[in-house]
Structure 1
Amino acid sequence: MRGSQRSDVEERLVGADRVIAVLTELADHPLGVTLDELASTLKSSKSTVHRALATLRRAGLADLMGRGVYVLGDEYIRLALRNLGGRPETARVQPVLEALAARFGETAHYAVLSGTDIVYRAKMDPPQGAVRLTSVIGGRNPAHRTAVGKALLSTLVTQESQLVQRFGTSSFEPRTPYTITSTGALLAELEATRSRGFGVDDQENEVGINCVAIPVSVDGSGAATGAISISAVAFRCPLDRLVAAVPTIRAIIEEHLGPLPAIEAPAI
């Protein structure tokens, strides 16, 4: 490839990266963000950010509101929802989440492990009148302080060195007074998770919110592809009551998805 051609390709790649960076930043501002604010956050010139915004607007992926405020475009949201709704895992887990939310009057999630985080792929809030959580589809939380994360990590990790290798540290910043802050304590909790067959979050991610999570398989392989959880407001549903409901939760999940994968230590 000639030098001029290589430069053109590199410039296009850099331009694409800028567009993606602007798109990603817009997602963090549902109420809108100005050109000045975007340029400051992304440490780019206003002209560079403006060109990226123009590209996104032509595709319908960004909109310019009044007073120079930009938001994600309706076309972006339409595409994202169409993709999410068309995923086989969504079609399979959504009826389960609906049944769990209706049965317990609490929020049900389906989430997967992504590196050191869990990502919510589906969610069902309880009926009207109940307290609703702030979690969103596509949102992330650190795996070490969530029931879903611990349920899935317990199938992958048996040694503290593996946790350090995965998280890059032997300690964690506490989110609440109850957050596990060391890999040693996390390893002990993963062992307890394997023993009982489900993960627990005892107000570790958010004060006042308890959670239990059970690994599930939605692709027919029999292996855990993610976990389904019930998150409950602690004053209304203490953790011991949520744990006591695990057999019922299991039965509802198995009614829709079939046998659950076992939580077992990975072969070394």
Structure 2
Amino acid sequence: MDRSTAAQSTGPVGSDRVLAVLKELARHPDGVGLEELTRVIASPKPTVHRALQSLRRAGLAQQDTRGHYLLGDEFLRMAFAHHEARPDHVRVRPALEALAERFGETVHYAVLDGHEVVYRAKVDPPTGAVRLTSTVGGRNPAHATGVGKLLLAHELRTTEDVEAWIGDAPLERRTPRTRHTAAELHEEFEAVRERGYALDDQENEPGVNCLALPVYAVSATAPSGAVSVSALTYRTPLSALIEAYDEIRSLLGPLGAPLR
């Protein structure tokens, strides 16, 4: 058995192959050829072609004038209709509940709105823990929060970007730990992009820290919001949240990862 045959023998079969082809099409908004699909799916060309034909009959795939395949209009219609019927905070809530139960701490989902973050969802721990005073619909300065710094890091890539975002009015220093200058924030944003999460080390409120991760509930490439596990420092120090990063990321599931 040669390498090609060996690779194809380990590929998906039946309905799994159709789903694998559908997922691969989603990674190619400009279309993808049959040869590349066959290679990536690791299945024989005739079977990949049959999967494509099944998807085309259902309107879930289509072929352009170059012979490349891409997601069909029917698939997009269903996806957008489903998306409109389920707001992002509704989709994120099961993950928030799992995180609150696992860590016994308050979990937020927030979005960026100019210089502030708006909390779209909040789940308090089920029992036992002290609950934070944050509310759904409440706001905080973006630069002083983990969720805000996480989202800003994806938008403000240079010092000039940060300076333009700050503008003429100085940023509020909520605590002595709050980073509030362009140089401080640019350095922080670079660190956020490198490690994949943001931290709030008592920068918004004394005695409270948090770890924030991106959520891809709307776009496959840019975070629509961020989730934070917020904790009282005496009970859950920041080092404990950092050590739990992989577990937090796992509990977020697919919402925590961009489409690659």
If the TM-score is normalised by the length of the shorter chain, which range does it land in? Answer: 0.5 to 0.7
Cross-structure match for 1:151: 150
Deviation at 1:222, TM superposition (A): 4.1
For each residue in 1:109-150, what CA deviation from the matched residue of structure 2 results, as whole angstroms up to 9, or x when unmatched? 110111111110000001222111111111111110111111
1:108 aligns with 2:107: yes
* Residues in 2 aligned to 1:220 and 1:196: alpha-carbon distance in whole angstroms: 21
Task: Name the residue aligned to 1:93.
Answer: 92
Equivalent residue runs for 1:192-207 within 5 Å: 192-207=191-206
Deviation at 1:258, TM superposition (A): 4.6
One-letter code aligned to 1:148: V
Match of 1:260 in 2: 257
The Cα shift of 1:245 comes to 0.7
Q: CA deviation at 1:99?
A: 0.3
Against the structure 1 CA distance between its residues 103 and 164, is the aligned structure 2 distance closer, same or farther, given a 3 Å change threshold? same
Q: Per-residue deviation at 1:93? A: 0.7
Answering whether residue 118 of structure 2 is matched by residue 119 of structure 1, we say yes
The aligned amino acid for 1:135 is: S
Return closer, same or farther for 1:151/1:259 CA change in 2, 3 Å cut-off. closer
Distance 1:170 1:163 in 2: 13
How big is each residue's C-alpha offset from its partner over 1:82-113, in whole Å with a ceiling of 9 and x where there is no partner? xxxx7521221111100000000000111011
Please name the residue that 1:185 is paired with. Answer: 184
Matches of residues 56-67 of structure 1 in structure 2 within 5 Å? none
User: Which amino acid in the other structure matches residue 105 of structure 2?
Assistant: E
Q: Which sections of structure 2, spanning at least 5 residues, go unmatched?
A: 1-84
Cα distance, 1:186–1:145 mapped onto 2, change above 3 Å: same
1:259 shift after superposition: 5.4
Aligned to 1:130: 129
Secondary structure of the corresponding residue to residue 155 of structure 1: helix
Following superposition, the deviation at residue 169 of structure 1 comes to 3.6
Amino acid at match of 2:92: V
2: CA distance between counterparts of 1:219 and 1:189?
25
- Amino acid across the alignment from 1:129: G
Structure 2 counterpart SS, 1:189: helix
Match of 2:203, SS?
A: coil
- Residues 213, 256 of structure 2: 8 Å contact kept: no
Offset at 1:160?
A: 2.0
Deviation at 1:231, TM superposition (A): 0.3
Identity in percent: 50
Q: Tell me the amino acid that sits aligned with residue 149 of structure 1.
A: G
Aligned-partner Cα distance in 2 for 1:237–1:169 = 37
What are the superposed Cα offsets for residues 48-93 of structure 1, whole Å, 9 maximum, x if unpaired?
A: xxxxxxxxxxxxxxxxxxxxxxxxxxxxxxxxxxxxxx75212211
Task: Supply the RMSD in Å over aligned alpha carbons.
Answer: 1.7
Listed as ranges, the gaps of 5+ residues in structure 1 are: 1-85, 263-268
What secondary structure is seen at the aligned counterpart in 2 of 1:154?
Answer: helix
CA distance in structure 2 between the partners assigned to 1:187 and 1:175 by the alignment: 18
Task: State the 1:184 CA deviation.
Answer: 0.7
SS of the aligned residue for 2:193 comes to: helix
Structure 1 residue ranges (4+ consecutive) displaced by more than 3 angstroms after TM superposition: none
Is 1:168 the counterpart of 2:167? The answer is yes
Matches of 1:200 and 1:248 in 2, distance apart?
16
* Contact 1:200–1:211 under 8 Å retained in 2: yes
> Partners in 1 of 2:116 and 2:168 — Cα distance?
14
Rounded to whole Å, the distance in 1 between the matches of 2:258 and 2:164 is 26
The count of corresponding residues between Structure 1 and Structure 2 is 175
- Give the secondary-structure state (helix, strand or coil) at the position aligned to 1:214: strand
Q: How far is 1:170 from its partner?
A: 7.3
The one-letter code of the counterpart of 2:113 is S
**Is contact 1:147-1:212 (8 Å) kept?**
yes
